[in-house]
Amino acid sequence: GFPATTPGAWRVEVALHTPAHAALDDRLSYTAPAALPPGTLVRVPLGRREVLGVVWDAVPLEAGSSEQGAVALKLVAAALDDLPPLGSAWRELVAFAARYYQRSLGEIALAALPPQLRDLSGVQLARRLKRRRTGSEDAAATAAPAADATPEQAEALRRIEAEAGPFLLFGSTGSGKTEVYLQAVGRLLARAPDAQALVMVPEINLTPQLEARFRARFGSEAVVSLHSGMTNPQRLASWLAAHAGQARIVLGTRMAVFASMPTLQLIVVDEEHDPSYKQQEGARYSARDLAVWRGRNEGAKVILGSATPSLESWHQSRPAEGDDPGGRYVRLAMPSRVGAGALPAVRLVDMALQPPKTVLSAGLLDAIGQRIARGEQSMVFLNRRGYAPVLACGDCGWKSECPHCSAYRVFHKIDRTLRCHHCGFAERVPRACPACGNPDIAPVGRGTEQLEEHLAELLAPVHRPDGSPVRVARIDADSTRKQGALESQLAAVHAGDVDVLVGTQMIAKGHDFRRITLVAAVNPDGALFSSDFRAPERLFSLLMQSAGRAGRDAAYLAAQGATAEMWIQTSHRDHPLFAALRRHDYPAFAQGELTERRAAAMPPFAYQALLRADAKTQEAAQAFLNAASVAADALEGADRVTRYPAVPLAIQRVANVERAQMLVESDSRAALQRLLAQWQPLLHGLRRTPEGKGVIRWLIDVDPQQI
């Protein structure tokens, strides 16, 4: 720290996160006795507290200066100058994200830093850095050699080296995309040993297997992870190693896009279509989109990988045709599975032809039974956890509504509770109908718990090759609540201790299961008729991803004499989505969707933002939105931006808060951005008007994923 009596010779602007300043300009001025370079981490007084901040700018005060206000400024309490300052590229990324997503600079900057930076002194931090530096020499010694690239992989790698990108690696499930990432990183480090690479995955539960593959290839010292499932000391250690340029490879979830990496040269976004890349609270940024921006700004190559790309990325990678110069991304295709593996055959079961109330068709049960008898594994998924989505009384019509939300509470049989999946409110299941006293209240519909129970019953007559009984297991958010539970459940599947795995979409993504030869979706129809225009895109990708879990090991299939199958139970077998899915034809599906989107002027042919208001009453929330719309009329360029009427959210009330939103849309991203930037200060003011009364909070969601 500085001696408190030294008069400040410099005025420094510090980015801070203070709720009171959120979304306003939150750079506060302080003085410092010495020049602090931009990017220096500092501790500064704020009210009675001392908070962490980032120096954004510093200007000298002339000797004896009477510069306005300078006298009143407080002194910076301490500078963490044992650490290198955050680089200009990092600060540009933060500034861009703040501007684009309509948040404050300090909020983005501070959220991007590990929480422990707030508590440790510069000396303590420097000591931690040094500790890592000793013990890192023999990194390369442990590295395992790369596999020989397949011709498709070799061609993708050649173009990644030769062209600037950004690249969309459009590779089937099991085509070896991860191997391309590994080899792209390998080639980079061979050429530039000091370079850094950032590799992102959508879900925390996919990081352990990715980490294992990268560590095996590059040695464990070269690789660090960054995600919210880590302890604070782990996160700090990873962050410091990346910031100091010691870690070559940073693996992480969306938060990792903000990692400080001074020599970043390659960014990989795996499963780039995954909605998890969009942060859904606080600053609602898209890590995928920021990765593309960051790559361009820092001259780092960007690879977006997927078997079912987002329609945005697909459109952006379209080839030139006629007058259309094509998209900005380079599309690289890897259609084949490694090792001559074939994608599973897709079989549709027409549920309209099944006896009423059929949960699992006889054909599907029979197919699963045959796999069990041969010692193979099956995976059955249903996107609904719990035992039943509703508990109901047949006499009076009572249903298990949540008293705090406009939603039903889900029946969990395991602990006999009714639980709200929106606000968390939980109660013991009543013995009789709370409205009329009828003791016969019954579950309606089904969730994964019931499916697991059902399958175990129906498969009881089947035996494994050694005559032992069938083992059914379930993986979903409920079964994996305890730390380490998911890892041990996945390990049991990999070890062959499970015959039939039941679960939610959690099991559909990414996992490299070797002995699964059948995958089934038992009730995917809901998404076909959702009000969300992205629902078909999500469903298609989920079904393709799930299909991708079957028959991944061609040698195993051959040895078993088995073929891989994906079963889909549907009452709408003629839906065009299923026709494309049967042929594993993502391009045909994408073309159909894009034609509809273009005709309806929807993304990617339009740019959207949502203004959302939460209030005690729906009227108050909508009054705020309507007043905001009126205020926007006067703004420059307002005629290029369409504002739709305020509407309640699909789940209108959560935890006694009423929610409403207004869609704002333009065919020009720049026009939308200009309007939002001017609107933002008006919205702050509006909170204090009669229309703003009762509004608990409002927020802007740019490029929303859920409408």
Report the interface residues with ligand ADP, using CB under 6 A: 147-150, 153, 171, 173-179, 338, 512
Query: How, if at all, do strands 301-306 and 167-171 pair?
Result: parallel
Residue 649 in the binding site for Zn ion (CB under 5 A): no
Residue 142 in the binding site for Zn ion (CB under 5 A): no
271 contact, one of ligand ADP, Zn ion, none, CB 5-8 Å limit per kind:
none
Q: How far apart are CA 280 and CA 274, in angstroms?
A: 13
Q: Which is nearer to ligand ADP, 148 or 281 (CB)?
A: 148
178 contact, one of Zn ion, ligand ADP, none, CB 5-8 Å limit per kind:
ligand ADP
Whether the Cβ atoms of residue 275 and residue 312 lie closer than 8 Å to each other: no
Amino acid at 494: H
Residue 29 in the binding site for Zn ion (CB under 5 A): no
Contact pick of 128, 404, 463, 494 for Zn ion (by CB under 5 A): 404
463 contact, one of Zn ion, ligand ADP, none, CB 5-8 Å limit per kind:
none
Q: Which is nearer to Zn ion, 220 or 438 (CB)?
A: 438
Q: Which is nearer to ligand ADP, 401 or 512 (CB)?
A: 512
Task: For residue 183, report the phi and psi dihedrals to the nearest 5 degrees.
Answer: -75, -30
Residue 652 in the binding site for Zn ion (CB under 5 A): no
Q: How far apart are CA 97 and CA 103, in angstroms?
A: 8
524 contact, one of ligand ADP, Zn ion, none, CB 5-8 Å limit per kind:
none
173 contact, one of Zn ion, ligand ADP, none, CB 5-8 Å limit per kind:
ligand ADP
Q: How far apart are CA 631 and CA 565, in angstroms?
A: 56
Contact pick of 59, 71, 436, 670 for Zn ion (by CB under 5 A): 436
144 contact, one of Zn ion, ligand ADP, none, CB 5-8 Å limit per kind:
none
Residue 395 in the binding site for Zn ion (CB under 5 A): yes
**Stretch touching Zn ion by CB under 5 A, among 12-20, 127-135, 361-369, 385-393:** 385-393
Supply the minimum distance, in Å, between the C-beta of residue 417 and Zn ion.
13
What b-and-e string marks burial along 668-698, b requiring 16 or more CB atoms within 10 Å of the CB?
Answer: eeebbbbbbebbeeebeebeeeebbebbeeb
Q: Which is nearer to ligand ADP, 157 or 349 (CB)?
A: 157
Q: How far apart are CA 391 and CA 411, in angstroms?
A: 6
Residue 406 in the binding site for Zn ion (CB under 5 A): no
149 contact, one of Zn ion, ligand ADP, none, CB 5-8 Å limit per kind:
ligand ADP
Q: How far apart are CA 642 and CA 667, in angstroms?
A: 9
Q: Which is nearer to ligand ADP, 584 or 653 (CB)?
A: 584
Site string (437-466) toward Zn ion, x via CB under 5 A: -x----------------------------
257 contact, one of Zn ion, ligand ADP, none, CB 5-8 Å limit per kind:
none
Q: Which is nearer to Zn ion, 409 or 643 (CB)?
A: 409
What b-and-e string marks burial along 367-377, b requiring 16 or more CB atoms within 10 Å of the CB?
Answer: bbbebbeeebb
Q: How far apart are CA 237 and CA 251, in angstroms?
A: 14
Supply the minimum distance, in Å, between the C-beta of residue 181 and ligand ADP.
8
Residue with tokens 């929480």: 115
Peptide bond into 38 cis (omega under 30): no
398 contact, one of ligand ADP, Zn ion, none, CB 5-8 Å limit per kind:
Zn ion
404 contact, one of ligand ADP, Zn ion, none, CB 5-8 Å limit per kind:
Zn ion
Name the nearest CA neighbour of 91 among 119, 61, 53, 124.
Answer: 53
What CA–CA distances, in Å, run from 351 to 269, 446, 524, 573, 670? Answer: 38, 16, 12, 9, 48
Residue 393 in the binding site for Zn ion (CB under 5 A): yes
177 contact, one of ligand ADP, Zn ion, none, CB 5-8 Å limit per kind:
ligand ADP
What CA–CA distances, in Å, run from 409 to 158, 327, 406, 416? Answer: 53, 46, 10, 12
Supply the minimum distance, in Å, between the C-beta of residue 660 and Zn ion.
18
Residues 168-227 that bind Zn ion (CB under 5 A): none
Supply the minimum distance, in Å, between the C-beta of residue 419 and Zn ion.
9
171 contact, one of ligand ADP, Zn ion, none, CB 5-8 Å limit per kind:
ligand ADP
CA-based radius of gyration for the chain = 28
153 contact, one of Zn ion, ligand ADP, none, CB 5-8 Å limit per kind:
ligand ADP
Q: Which is nearer to ligand ADP, 116 or 178 (CB)?
A: 178
**HEC sequence for 155-189:** HHHHHHHHCCCCEEEEECCCCCHHHHHHHHHHHHH
Residue 418 in the binding site for Zn ion (CB under 5 A): no
393 contact, one of ligand ADP, Zn ion, none, CB 5-8 Å limit per kind:
Zn ion
Edge-to-edge strand list for the sheet holding 49-60: 27-32, 10-15, 49-60, 41-46, 78-79
Residue with tokens 């399958």: 455
Q: Which is nearer to ligand ADP, 260 or 306 (CB)?
A: 306
Residue with tokens 């890349």: 277
Supply the minimum distance, in Å, between the C-beta of residue 316 and Zn ion.
39
Q: Which is nearer to Zn ion, 163 or 395 (CB)?
A: 395
Amino acid at 45: P
Q: Which is nearer to Zn ion, 46 or 420 (CB)?
A: 420
Name the nearest CA neighbour of 57 among 82, 18, 91, 81.
Answer: 91
Alpha helix ranges (H) inside 305-416: 311-316, 362-373
Supply the minimum distance, in Å, between the C-beta of residue 178 and ligand ADP.
3
Task: Determine the straight-line distance between the first and last CA of the chain, rounded to whole angstroms.
Answer: 49
Residue 433 in the binding site for Zn ion (CB under 5 A): yes
Residue 400: other Cβ atoms inside 10 A? 25
Q: Which is nearer to ligand ADP, 494 or 572 (CB)?
A: 494
Whether the Cβ atoms of residue 625 and residue 663 lie closer than 8 Å to each other: no
Residue 435 in the binding site for Zn ion (CB under 5 A): yes
Residue 391 in the binding site for Zn ion (CB under 5 A): no
**Residues paired with 442 in a beta bridge:** 392
Question: In what helix (H) or strand (E) does residue 100 lie, and over which residues does it extend?
Answer: helix 88-100
Residues in the chain: 707
Which bin fits 571, alpha (ψ -120 to 50), beta or left (φ > 0)? alpha
Q: How far is CA 107 from the centre of its chain?
A: 19
Supply the minimum distance, in Å, between the C-beta of residue 404 and Zn ion.
4
Footprint of Zn ion on this chain (CB under 5 A)?
Answer: 393, 395-396, 398, 402, 404-405, 420, 422-423, 425, 433, 435-436, 438
